[in-house]
Copies of this chain bind each other. A is one copy, B any other.
Amino acid sequence: MNRPTIAAFIVLAGLVTASSAYADDPLPSWNDGAAKKSILQFIARVTQEGSPEFVPPAERIAVFDNDGTLWAEQPMPFQMFFAFDRVKAMAPQHPEWKTQEPFASLLKGDVKAALAGGERAVGQLLMATHAGMTSDEFQKSVTDWIATAKHPQTGQLLTEMVYQPMVELLTFLRSHLFKTYIVSGGGIEFIRPWSERVYGIPPEQVIGSSIKTKFELRDAKPVLVRMPDINFVDDGPGKPVGIQMHVGRRPIAAFGNSDGDLQMLQWTAAGSGARFCLYVHHTDPVREWAYDRNSSISRLDKGLDEAKAKGWTIVDMKADWKRVFAFEK
């Protein structure tokens, strides 16, 4: 074998390493600074053979919040857009919605009035659109919708509203044999149909909130029916519970952007050996959005204080990211 052949063989064998695939920079959308440096140093500490803090590949678990950490979440979590569009699509089969809130307002195009009912209204919209069908049917409805759904302000596909620096980070971690998980307050079955294509994260590495499902034989055909009952809320103190349920090991790295991720970061940080916790801080009102302590969506208040006190990495999106979205010039 000559040298080029051997090189090709190594790549084919999946043994892509930082030195071969990222000859220049594994994180090109990150500006050089403390955040980027802390990431590179942590990965080196836990993956270099002979390092006193070396972690075997099987234990390299990294967990990522989704909304606001891997993709945008303004003006509201994108799963709500799915619910709205499904209400419109399902309306012909539900004539009663014409006079029944929150559906009536939504069908008239008044989102604000529809959401005036708060959590109860959101719950009704979610259950009406996420329950009552089989798991296969729901998966198809998400797959079809996400293929064309666009952001109301940027006009970009929602799947283009992902943070390019975080996609690079996911890839970089996996090239160092980390297993990357999503741990989202959003619906587990809402994320799975597109997480592999968009993030390289397969369905079995998605953890999220869920409703109950029930096995049934329909005309001798087995189906899983989605029921209008909450099964699990994967947010705040639920995140470590969800991680333990699905992974059964404590992560060594955790990434979030709100107080709802704080317990996940605390749980990760409290393990023995090298640990890495990072908060994405939304500080860029021009390229993205700026919000933290007073936001109604994904408030980052206690988490920001704890991150500072404990020396966790805080990403200043404006300063630390060369590029936020891949579609930027």
Residues of chain A having any CB pair with chain B under 8 Å = 1, 6, 9-10, 13-15, 58, 135, 179, 188-189, 192, 196, 202-204, 206, 210, 213-215, 217, 221-222, 224, 237-238, 240-241, 244-249, 263, 266-267, 270
Contact = CB atoms under 8 A, between A and B. Distances in A.
A209 B240 CA distance: 18
- From A14, A202, A215, A267, name the one whose CB has the most chain B CB atoms within 10 angstroms: A215
Contact of A263 (B6, B188, B222): B222
A241 B215 contact: yes
B6 A248 contact: no
Contacts of A248: 188-189, 192, 202-204, 206
B266 A217 contact: yes
A157 to B, nearest CB: 23
29 contacts: A13-B13, A13-B14, A13-B15, A135-B244, A179-B204, A188-B245, A188-B248, A189-B248, A192-B248, A202-B248, A203-B248, A203-B249, A204-B204, A204-B247, A204-B248, A210-B245, A213-B241, A213-B245, A214-B237, A214-B241, A215-B237, A217-B266, A221-B270, A222-B240, A222-B267, A222-B270, A224-B241, A224-B244, A224-B267
A247 B224 CA distance: 14
Contacts of A10: 13
A202 B1 contact: no
A215 B189 contact: no
Contacts of A222: 240, 263, 266-267, 270
Contacts of A215: 237-238, 240-241, 263, 267
Contacts of A214: 237, 241
Given A222-B266, A222-B267, 6 more contacts: A14-B14, A188-B245, A203-B248, A206-B248, A224-B244, A246-B246
